[in-house]
A and B are shown apart, each in its own frame.
Chain A
Amino acid sequence: MTGANSFSVSGYGPERAGWTRVFARDSLARRLDWPILLSATALSLIGSVLVFSATRNRTEINQGDPYYFLIRHLMNTGIGFALMAGTVWLGHRALRNAVPVLYGLSVLLILLVLTPLGSTVNGAHSWIVLGGGFSLQPSEFVKITIILGTAMLLAARVDAGDRTYPDHRTVVQALGLAAVPMLVVMLMPDLGSVMVMVMIVLGVLLASGASNRWVFGILGAGAAGAVAVWQLHILDDYQIARFAAFANPSLDPAGVGYNTNQARIAIGSGGLTGSGLFHGSQTTGQFVPEQQTDFVFTVAGEELGFVGAGLIVLLLGVVLWRACRIARETTELYGTVVAAGIVAWFAFQSFENIGMTLGIMPVTGLPLPFVSYGGSSMFAVWVAIGLLQSIRVQRPMSA
């Protein structure tokens, strides 16, 4: 712990009574980052409408209840919100102490996926079906524990004042910590998540002040790894086909290029203001696959047009912008590194998800933060919001 004026929320604040506590200069409400909170909430709500539009007619998956996915998405948002509150309440520093446990748990969970308990969805063996319509995608939580774990290792000696930058030994430790779950996820294979994790590691290393050699080393290794993966046929056929279709979408419009083509048609046909909510022919006709999850952005593109789709990009921009500020404004490196990791995660995942619907990125199975339907993803991103809020709340007050 650094600095005498660092501030803990619970238990340490001055005792005040009633609503004055809420509005006090140093109160929680005043210190929360409201733009992030409101943007994330807005994205989740927009997401619920889009998910509803994409699923209300799909009797084969909504069990005959048009509101099935809408209610679940709102429920997930609620749970996510609670998880955020819990995270803020606990504080990211308290969580730092729990990192070994959380990390161990998350690695255990993804290992479970590889056992017969796991199941395969869309070619990726990355799910644990819990029954009752619930399932878990542990790779989403691993993203958080990687951020927390690497941040803990990299920032420990710097925050203690022993060093200016993390030394090589620490970096190697951090990389090792990240590599274990990444290898497991790669085995699933969930290539999209691996890519996100690589980006997280890059972001974390950058923010920690680790030597440039490490940063460029990782980039070089990533490139070499990609070539190796391609050459050694580690990828499944469906993954290669996706990349080929990305390079040339008209190659096989009825086959692997279908997703990209239909997604682009859906978004392109939206025009400036879209066809109106629930009036998109591509959406109603279910031409775009996975439209409530990975391709949810196409619903916005078609039915809400440039205005609606642009608003989503803008809201994500607000979240990322504020997150960057949080990273810059906190005094302890641990908070900075965690925030930077989250920025890298959100930024890359959003870019990849929206980019693939727009035909500028290859298709991978990544959800759009807050907007896509899916509990695990929703919980994870809200926990991340909680971490960001905690970092901001516990930063030193300005004069």
Chain B
Amino acid sequence: MTNIPETGRTPRVQIRLVVIQILVLSLLGTLGGRLWYLQIREGAEYAKEASGNHVQQVVEPAVRGSILDARGIPLADNETRLVVSASRTDLLKQQDDGKAVLTKLAGVLGMDPEEVLQKVRLCDAETPQPCWNGSPYQPIPITDEATAKQALQIRERAEDFPGITAEPEAVRRYPAPGKSNTAQVLGYLSPVTDEEITKAQDTDSPYLRSDQVGRSGLERQYDKELRGKAGVTRYEVDNLGRVIGQAEADAAQPGSNLVTSIDSRVQRVAEYELNEAMKEARKQWDRNTQEKYKADSGAVVVMEAKTGRIVAMASNPNYDPNAWVGGISAKDYKKLTGKSSNYPLLNRAIQGQSAPGSTFKVISTAAAVEAGYAFDGHYPCTSSYSVGGQVFKNFESENFGPISLGRALEVSCDTVFYGLAHREWQKDGGIKPKKSANDYFFKAAHQFGLGKETGIDLPNEVTGRVPDRAWKQAYWEANKDAWCKSGKKDGSYVEVIAYENCLEGNQMRAGDEINYSIGQGDTLVTPIQMATIYAAISNGGTLYDPTVGKAVISADGKKVTEIEPTSHGKLPISRTTLNQMDEALAGVATRGTAAWRFAQVGWPQDKIPMHAKTGTAEVYGKQTTSWFTTYTKDYAVVMTISQGGTGSGASGPAVRNIYDALYGVADDGTIDKSKALLPTPQKSLPTVRTDGTIKSPKVAKDPAKEQRLSQQGVPEPDESQPAGTVQQTGTGTNRDTRRRRRKRGSRRMCT
């Protein structure tokens, strides 16, 4: 249609109408452009936001797997508690936001209604505790200590309690079977941190705010396996948070069970004997410091010699791991981490390090043989050894004349090793070392696995230290300023040492290498390292990575993943030397420094050949560290007691008792196989039932006490008998007899 000339129509109106039309078009164009921008250009972004809007996740925690001992006895498991929870979503659907229901619930639970109401409110900046800081779609726990009667009341009258559930829930428990504690090996759980939640948010296994994470020990090492996978249900919700549909659901996968090589009975015996040995040591007088031994800490490791598996690992002082369950109290935490309790959280078997003393001599012996000294040669065992005016004494200044390396091990002659080390030091160029110094003694220590982790499946293992030239240089560079500042030529002992260190602390001095050869000085080792070394001597030279975990068994029992022993090297000793050394170490137990703990007090050496090495390490400013390293063909047992006295003196009886328990040896040397806890290492895994549960034998009340009774031939008390009776009839008198016997042994040593 064409434009029509019209009457009374002016150009002004016509122009303005066109202006209106253009304005209208531009408005519509603006809308179209904006629409394109939102929907096409930014569409994906908004789609993401929309999906976040209407989908809410509800995470169902997975039941944490148990930690079992080698026979299937739980060392850590879950206890079922009745947890009463409220669903916020359901409560908000009610007219008064669920106030009436919660008040009624408080009545049933015997709680203050105000408290219950506070527990279900959501935390924000202005809301103080108690409040719920988890997801509002998560059932909010009101109490985890409901009685069965209360739970029944709630469940039977479900229509009276809409949105309230009373469900059994799993809570971690450390049952300490047969009084075994195993605290440091098991580790503990503590609540997840915000950081961890954020990190795990987008993974397939997100944390709940209420989750517990393994913080040390096996709980941490095997956290992933034990934790399982939380179930995630995604709900579509509307703007009020009402559920309008279930989008998808992944069922929770319960955590796997961890079977360890720990035998809870042996563990108990080890813990008990370690503690008794320390108690005994504290009664002994230390002539050097003119006070009683402090015996402030100790550790013992019982290892399968042929696999590196840990049968028992005890660290003293210890603590009750149940203190962590349900959140540790500030008081308990202070106690566990304070100096006054001497840090019971430390696992001293892998985290305690000290000079090894004479137990180091097997390494020096290997080094000497490697350096070309015949094992059967004759080396002077004088009462002292002098170097440049400095006198290095033999232990208790004994003189055995010229003896072989084997005999030097047996009687623990220091001067033999002083001489060898000094000669090697001279060969290597003395104070001005050759470029190609052999350093046999230091090389051997590294080859024995010292100065680095053994690779045990426990977190935070420490490395110890081999004070070789490289370490000396680094240590000197780090400390020379302090030394040079405090050192005085004619000052006190400490000042003189500092003065000397300032001048030549970076050099390997004759005295350093001489001290080092008998495990004194700056050398540091851990009990687990020594156990690994002595187990290797027992098994023909393989250094195994110690393992506590033996197998991971899925919750349904269908998938069993065995943890195979792995090795981190071979000892640098020939077969012949190894046999000679083995013989010498047997000699230690029959006629050497440990004989008064074994052969001379009824050890059946012909049936169970025992090998041992004692060590008494001197620590400046402290009492001596007791080391006792032993092995049979199946086990290596290493015990150390800090500030505890001599090797065989302080640790000897305890180690002997552990062996007695393992093999069923009575005081008179007879072997009663029925009393033996573990005459050969446990090879098979516990039986898994078809429903995934694991069979475990009956747990004795206290294997350590029973062991001590049976050694005396007193009939084993009936398990139903109360503990008090056991004490009165047996142990008291029994212990006295034992002490008498040991004293007899020690007299024989002196003569």
Does chain A bind chain B?
Answer: yes
Taking the complex as formed, is A380 at the interface, i.e. its CB lies under 8 A from any CB of chain B?
Answer: no
Residues of B near A309 (CB, < 8 A) are: 35, 39
A316 to B24 CA separation, bound complex (whole angstroms): 10
Determine whether B46 belongs to the interface, using a CB cutoff of 8 Å to chain A: yes
Is the pair B6, A396 in contact by a Cβ cutoff of 8 Å? yes
A269 in contact with B31 (CB, 8 Å): no
In the complex, whether A132 has a CB less than 8 A from a CB of chain B is no
In the complex, whether B660 has a CB less than 8 A from a CB of chain A is: no
- Is A320 an interface residue when CB atoms closer than 8 A count as contact? yes
Q: What sequence of 0s and 1s flags, for each residue 2-25 of chain B, a beta carbon within 8 Å of any chain A beta carbon? A: 111011111011101111110111
Q: A281-B51, A284-B238, A343-B24 are in contact. Are A271 and B6 (CB under 8 A)?
A: no
Given known A164-B10, A282-B53, A287-B53, contact A343–B20 (CB-CB < 8 A): yes
Identify the closest chain A residue to B44 (Cβ). A271
With CB as the reference atom, state the residue of chain A lying closest to B12.
Answer: A209
Taking the closest CB of chain A, its distance from the CB of B294, in whole angstroms, is: 63
A310 and B40 CA atoms in complex are apart in Å by: 12
Contact indicator A324/B17 (Cβ below 8 Å):
yes
Q: Is the CB of A265 within 8 A of B34?
A: no
Contacts of A313 in B (CB 8 A): 28, 31-32, 35
A286/B238 in contact, CB under 8 A: yes
Using a CB-CB cutoff of 8 Å, which residues 37-72 of chain B contact chain A? 38-40, 42-47, 49-51, 53-54
Q: Is B13 a contact partner of A306 (Cβ separation < 8 A)?
A: no
Residues of A279-321 at the interface with B, using a CB-CB cut-off of 8 Å, are 281-282, 284-287, 301-302, 305-306, 309-310, 313, 316-317, 320-321
The segment from A35-43, A142-150, A186-194, A353-361 that touches chain B is A353-361
Tell whether B239 is near chain A: CB-to-CB under 8 Å. yes
Interface string of A204-216 (1 = CB under 8 A from B): 0011110000000
Question: Is A285 in contact with B34, judged by CB distance below 8 angstroms?
Answer: no
Report the bound CA distance from A351 to B23 in whole Å: 11
Q: How far is the CB of B94 from chain A (nearest CB, A)?
A: 15
CB of A270 within 8 Å of the partner chain: yes
**Chain B residues with Cβ under 8 A from A28's Cβ?**
none
- In angstroms, Cα B18 to Cα A309, docked, is 27
Task: Flag whether A272 is at the interface (Cβ < 8 A).
Answer: yes
Any chain B CB within 8 A of the CB of A8? no
Chain A hits for B9, CB < 8 A: 331, 333, 336
* Cβ B20 vs Cβ A268 within 8 A: no
B237 at the interface (CB under 8 A from A): yes
Neighbouring A residues of B36 by C-beta, 8 Å: 306
| A327 contacts B by Cβ under 8 Å | yes
Give the shortest distance, in Å, between B256 (CB) and chain A (any CB).
38
The majority secondary structure among interface residues of chain A is helix
Minimal Cβ-Cβ distance residue in A for B22: A324
Complex contact A396–B20 (CB within 8 A): no
Chain A residue at minimum C-beta to C-beta distance from B32:
A313
Contact partner of B42 (CB less than 8 A), chosen from A268, A316, A348, is: A268
* A residues less than 8 Å from B6 (CB atoms): 330-331, 396
Cβ-defined contact, B30 with A333, below 8 A? no
Which of B39, B53, B238 is A301 in contact with, Cβ under 8 Å?
A: B39
- A265 contact from B13, B49, B238, Cβ within 8 A: B49
A329 x B1 contact (CB < 8 A): yes
- Provide the bound-state CA to CA distance between A286 and B12, in Å: 50
Interfacial chain A residues near B8, Cβ < 8 Å: 2, 158-159, 161, 164, 331-333
Tell me if A358 and B13 are in contact (CB < 8 A): no
Q: Mark A345-380, 1 if CB is under 8 A from B, else 0.
A: 001101100110011100000000000000000000
Chain B positions within 8 Å of A282 at CB level:
50, 53-54
With most chain B CB atoms within 10 A of its CB, the pick from A207, A268, A328, A351 is A268
CA distance A281 to B9 in the complex (A): 54
**Which among B1, B28, B35, B49 is the interface contact of A320 at CB below 8 angstroms?**
B28
Cβ of B236 within 8 Å of any chain A Cβ, yes or no, is yes
B36 nearest in chain A by CB position: A306
Q: Which residues of B from 338 to 376 have beta carbons under 8 Å from A?
A: none
The reply to whether B4 and A396 form a contact with Cβ atoms under 8 Å apart is yes
B33 CB, nearest partner CB in chain A, Å: 10
- Nearest chain-A residue to B13 (Cβ)? A209
Interface: A131 (CB within 8 A): no
Which single residue of chain B is at the shortest CB-CB distance from A347?
B24
Q: Is the CB of A328 within 8 A of B40?
A: no
Give Cα A72–Cα B602 distance, bound, in whole angstroms.
104
In the complex the two chains form, is B20's CB within 8 Å of A206's CB?
Answer: yes
Residue A243 at the B interface, CB < 8 A? no
Task: Judge if B251 is at the interface, Cβ distance under 8 Å.
Answer: no
Q: Are B16 and A206 in contact (CB under 8 A)?
A: yes
Q: Output the least CB separation between A348 and chain B (Å).
A: 8
Which residues does chain A contribute within 8 Å of B238, judged by CB atoms? 284-287
Nearest CB of chain B from residue A354's CB, rounded to whole Å: 5
Size bracket, chain B contacts: 35 or more
- At the interface, yes or no: B474 with Cβ under 8 Å from chain A? no
**Can you name the residue of chain A whose Cβ is closest to the Cβ of B19?**
A206
Tell me, in angstroms, the Cα distance from A3 to B9 when the chains sit together: 13
Interface check A391, CB cutoff 8 A: no
User: A393 on the interface (CB 8 Å rule)?
Assistant: no
A316 to B23, CA, bound (A): 14
Question: Would you call A2 and B7 a contact (CB within 8 A)?
Answer: yes
For the complex formed, measure the closest distance between the CB of B443 and the CB atoms of chain A, giving whole angstroms.
67
Centre residue among A267, A269, A272, A331 by max chain B CB count within 10 A = A269
Quick check: is B387 within 8 A (CB to CB) of the other chain?
Answer: no
A294 smallest CB distance to B (angstroms): 16
Kindly provide the distance from the CB of A382 to the nearest chain B CB, expressed in whole angstroms. Answer: 20
Q: Which of B38, B50, B54 interacts with A358 by CB under 8 Å?
A: B38
> Is A89 engaged at the interface, CB distance under 8 Å to the other chain?
no
Bound complex: CA A331 to CA B44 (Å): 51
Q: Is B197 an interface residue (CB 8 A)?
A: no
Question: In the complex the two chains form, what is the Cα distance from A281 to B236 in whole Å?
Answer: 9
CA distance A197 to B172 in the complex (A): 71
Q: Contact check, A265 vs B46: say whether CB atoms are below 8 A apart.
A: yes
Q: Which of A198-225 contact B (CB under 8 A)?
A: 203, 206-209
Distance (Å) between the CB of B601 and the closest chain A CB?
80
Distance (whole angstroms) from the CB of B552 to the closest CB of chain A:
41
Closest to B14 in A: A328
- Is the CB–CB distance between A358 and B34 below 8 Å? yes
> Given A281-B53, A285-B238, A360-B34, does the pair A268, B39 have CB atoms closer than 8 Å?
yes
Residue on A nearest B34 in the bound complex, by CB: A358
Tell me the minimal C-beta distance from A40 to chain B in angstroms: 16
Given A209-B13, A285-B237, A287-B239, check contact A269 B50 (CB 8 Å).
yes
B-contact 0/1 string along A256-273, CB 8 Å cutoff:
000000101111111110
| Complex alpha-carbon distance, A272 and B35, angstroms | 10
* Chain B residues, CB < 8 A from A340: 17, 20
Determine how close the nearest CB of chain A comes to the CB of B649; give it in whole angstroms: 73
Taking a contact as CB atoms closer than 8 A, the residue among B27, B28, B34, B50 that contacts A281 in the complex is: B50
Residue of B nearest to A208 (CB): B13
Residues on A with C-beta less than 8 A from B7 are 2-3, 161, 331
In the bound complex, what is the Cα–Cα distance between A328 and B15 (angstroms)? 10
Give bound CA distance, A158 to B238, whole Å: 59
Of A265, A333, A398, the residue contacting B2 (CB under 8 A) is: A398
Which residues of chain B are near A331, meaning CB under 8 Å?
A: 4, 6-9
19 A/B residue pairs, CB under 8 Å, sorted by A: A158-B8, A165-B10, A262-B53, A262-B239, A265-B46, A265-B49, A265-B53, A268-B45, A269-B43, A271-B39, A271-B47, A282-B50, A306-B35, A316-B28, A317-B25, A324-B21, A331-B4, A332-B8, A333-B13
Given contacts A348-B27, A350-B31, 16 further A-B contacts (CB under 8 A): A3-B7, A164-B8, A207-B17, A207-B20, A268-B42, A269-B51, A285-B53, A305-B39, A306-B40, A324-B20, A327-B17, A329-B1, A329-B4, A331-B8, A355-B30, A355-B31
Closest 6 CB pairs of A and B: A268-B46, A331-B6, A269-B50, A285-B238, A271-B43, A324-B21
Give the interface of A toward B (CB within 8 A). Answer: 2-3, 158-159, 161, 164-165, 203, 206-209, 262, 264-272, 281-282, 284-287, 301-302, 305-306, 309-310, 313, 316-317, 320-321, 324, 327-333, 336, 340, 343-344, 347-348, 350-351, 354-355, 358-360, 396, 398
